[in-house]
Structure 1
Amino acid sequence: AVVLLIIFVGYSLSRFLTQADAGLLNTGEVIRLTLLKVLIALEVLLPIALFFGLMLGLGTLHHESEIVAMQASGISESRMVRAVVTLAIPLALVIAALSIFVRPWAYTQTYQIRSIAEASSDIDRIKAGQFYLTRKTADSVEAAMSDETAPGDKKTPRQEQKSQIGEDQERAIFVEKISVDQALDRIFIRTRIGKELQIVSAQTGDFIEQPGAQYHLLELKNARIFKRVDDGPDLIARIDHFTMNVTNEQPEPPGYKVKSIATAKLALSRRPKDRAEYQWRISTPITTLLLALLAVPLSRSRPRQGR
């Protein structure tokens, strides 16, 4: 079990560290997601570990003719089966608890962590020297051109942007260097909302977090701006001081996720996916007992046959 657990932890860490390297997760989220992933995997790893453990143990007894000696001393095979079942039943109960109660809780926590990570600001998680791309469909996407003006500049009617409902939003960010005091050097940001395209580049900048506000602020110096709109002329500008609003998104509820639903609710559901998830949770303790019983005949070997 320990070997399987180490292999699985290494596999999970490699996946989450890849996302952390891309700025999608921080260190704390990687650790928590890995631990939750291990909790979820225990319902599969423990039955497999029991099966191989029984195979190895009983196979050794057959190879060393210990089973023959035990049978000669009056210990029947049914008694050995009872011993195996006695060992498997407590483990099956543990696995039932993991599958029925721990599994939905762990998935709920996983979805919440993912939601918080996705709601975090793009600039706050960006790594220097690599492109960072995000895509999402917003129910309401507000362009911030009305606030993205140089001090003293007069706002034009086009800078008062209306909400765009259901538009796909894509943002690509590149920062060449981030100093120790979190100052940004050589910034490139391309934002596409529907058919509108905005490209901003700047020599230096600072990211100002505003935890209680609707937006974080990205202050850029010596910025160059290109904006293309679907129903009007393109905009090209060079601004000494340019402020962008970066939406301070709140974590959204994960919605209906089958794996996070309580087992009691799944038992009453008629949806095929819900029924499949319910049957999986119920089957894991039964599978544990079946694997333990299956290990008894599979571990048999003839004298001098080898393992």
Structure 2
Amino acid sequence: MIVFRYLSREVLVTLSAVSAVLLVIIMSGRFIKYLAQAAQGVLDPGVLFLIMGYRIPGFLQLILPLGLFLGFLLAYGRLYLDSEMTVLSATGVSPQRLTVYSMAPALIVALLVGWLSLGLAPQGVASVARILNEQDALTELDTLVPGRFQSLRDGSRVTYSQELSPDRSELRGVFMSEKRFSTDGTSERGITVLVAESGRQEIQEDGSRYLILENGYRYDGEPGEADYRAIQYDTYGVLLPKPEVAIEASEREATPTRELFGSSDPRMQAELQWRLSLPLLVFIVTLLAVPLSKVNPRQGRFLKLLPAIFLYMAYLGLLIAARGALDKGRLPAALGLWWVHGIFFAIGMLLLYWERLSLWWASRRAPVSEVAHG
């Protein structure tokens, strides 16, 4: 029991450290993407941390199996280097028993991954989609920051306001620059610059929104040429573009797991099998990691680390490829993703019993060699 607690503690501590590092790396890259969108006025800066919080379950469901795999390799590899595994082997802890001990922390991680993949991750995706839809329902004036030039989402319009009322309905010191295109939208025909002392947002009965500019000028021309047309106006209306809804994830990823059961849609079946595969992935990578963690003290701790990571990447990559094939109806639902797990389960069993198989094969060849010499 002491040995079991010691091994579990070593693996779980290493798992926590590795998973925390991987989570920070992945979240940093995604946060930079959202931060760039917030700087462009596409997202409200106030929702950035809320979005990242909802995305954490989706990140963790993929990070934890890899963290556990690396945790076994690093923790058990250190024990082999320090000859602690040699002592355990001398006391009767065989590789098979070590695998049984390792399944306890794997069970904890599998339950956590199952909770994430079947419950929290779909809820997080749905919440992120709802937030992004709400952000897309905002016009450029709703995300406008006073004193900053803001580019519209397609880059065709730049808006600036010196002052903005608290309710965002009144603007002071307005500047707008917009590209003009041909009727077919293929070629640029110059720019239009609008300046005004003030402006206000007006909503029509059909839901369309206008920016009403007052006491200003309109300039039409092409950059680099002196032929400009200037028009002075008292009131000028600018139609604000209707929002385009852009959902970051597909609808099936946000579908609750209970709704996936019994569905005949190949896409829904692929999503269900993917969510069920992640907890199963934890047990199979444990079966792979235990024999791969065995290292020779003379060879170093990281000799088998790179081949082991390649094996894990092959496992995950094959799962993703099978998911895509199942999604497109190229694989029957009964076969689904399970054949991939079967292949790597067989590889894990082969690695686990490799020494016994080698001894058995040597014993089978020994009599043949003796007869030949005789």
**TM exceeding 0.5:** yes
Return closer, same or farther for 1:249/1:257 CA change in 2, 3 Å cut-off: same
Structure 1 residue 199: deviation in Å?
5.3
Q: Does 1:188 align with 2:191?
A: no
Aligned equivalent of 1:206, options 196, 199, 209: 199
Higher share of residues assigned strand: 1
Q: Which residue of 1 aligns with 2:284?
A: 290
Of 170, 178, 194, the residue aligned with 2:162 is 178
- How far apart are 1:173 and its partner, in Å? 2.3
Residue number in structure 1 paired with 2:64: 46
- Summarize deviations over 1:235-286 as a string: whole Å, max 9, x none: x964212244547869899997111112232232233322221111010000
1:145 alignment partner in structure 2: none
| Cα separation, 2, equivalents of 1:299 and 1:252 | 45
Higher alpha-carbon deviation: 10-19 or 272-281: 272-281
Tell me the residue number matched to 2:10.
Answer: none
SS of the residue aligned with 1:175?
strand
Q: Is this contact kept in 2: 1:174–1:188, CA < 8 A?
A: yes
- Percent identity, aligned pairs only? 25
**1:224 counterpart residue number:** 218
* Alpha-carbon shift at residue 179 of structure 1 (Å): 3.3
Taking structure 1 as reference, are residues 223 and 270 closer, same or farther at Cα in structure 2, changes over 3 Å only? farther
Alpha-carbon distance between aligned partners in 2 of 1:35 and 1:57, rounded to the nearest angstrom: 30
- Amino acid in structure 1 at the alignment position of 2:45: T
Per-residue deviation at 1:103? 1.8
Match of 1:63 in 2: 81
Work out which of the residue numbers 95, 112, 121 in structure 1 matches 2:130. 112
- Find out whether 1:99 has 2:117 as its counterpart: yes
Corresponding residue of 1:26: 44
1:271-282 equivalences under 5 Å are: 271-282=265-276
- TM-score, scaled relative to structure 2: 0.61
Residue type matched to 1:174 in 2?
V
Alignment partners' CA distance in 1, 2:249 and 2:28: 30
In structure 2, distance between residues paired with 1:64 and 1:103:
40
What is the CA deviation profile of residues 20-70 of structure 1, one whole-angstrom value per residue up to 9, with x for unaligned ones?
111110122211211122221110011111111111100001111111101
In 2, Cα distance between equivalents of 1:23 and 1:81: 53
2: CA distance, partners of 1:263 / 1:193: 49
Compute the displacement of 1:5 (Å).
Answer: 1.3
1:121 and 2:139 aligned? yes
1:12 and 1:37 in contact (8 A); partners too: no
Distance 2:254 2:299 in 1: 49
Kindly name which structure, 1 or 2, has the bigger radius of gyration based on alpha carbons.
Answer: 2
1:10 to 8, 28, 37: 28
Q: Is the 8 A contact 2:55 2:121 kept in 1?
A: no
Secondary structure of 1:124's partner?
A: coil
User: Residues 225 and 116 (structure 1 numbering): CA distance in 2 closer, same or farther, change over 3 Å?
Assistant: farther
Report which stretch shifted further, 263-272 or 101-110. 263-272
| Deviates most, 121-130 or 14-23 | 121-130
For the residue of structure 2 that corresponds to 1:186, the secondary structure is strand
Partner of 1:156: none
Instruction: List alignment gaps of at least 5 residues for structure 1.
Output: 135-170, 227-235
Distance of aligned partners of 1:289 and 1:256 in 2 relative to their CA distance in 1, 3 Å threshold: closer
Question: For the aligned residues, what is the CA RMSD?
Answer: 3.4
Q: Provide the rounded CA distance (Å) in 2 between the counterparts of 1:244 and 1:7.
A: 43
1:90 equivalent among 108, 111, 136: 108
Distance in structure 1 (CA, Å) of the matches to 2:269 and 2:192: 48
Q: Partners of 1:99 and 1:5 in 2: how far apart?
A: 16
Q: Is the 8 A contact 2:37 2:43 kept in 1?
A: yes
More helix by share: 2
Q: Which residue of 2 aligns with 1:261?
A: 255
Q: 1-side partners of 2:248 and 2:296: how far apart?
A: 56
Unaligned runs of 5+ in 2: 1-18, 166-170, 221-229, 302-374
**Number of equivalenced pairs:** 263
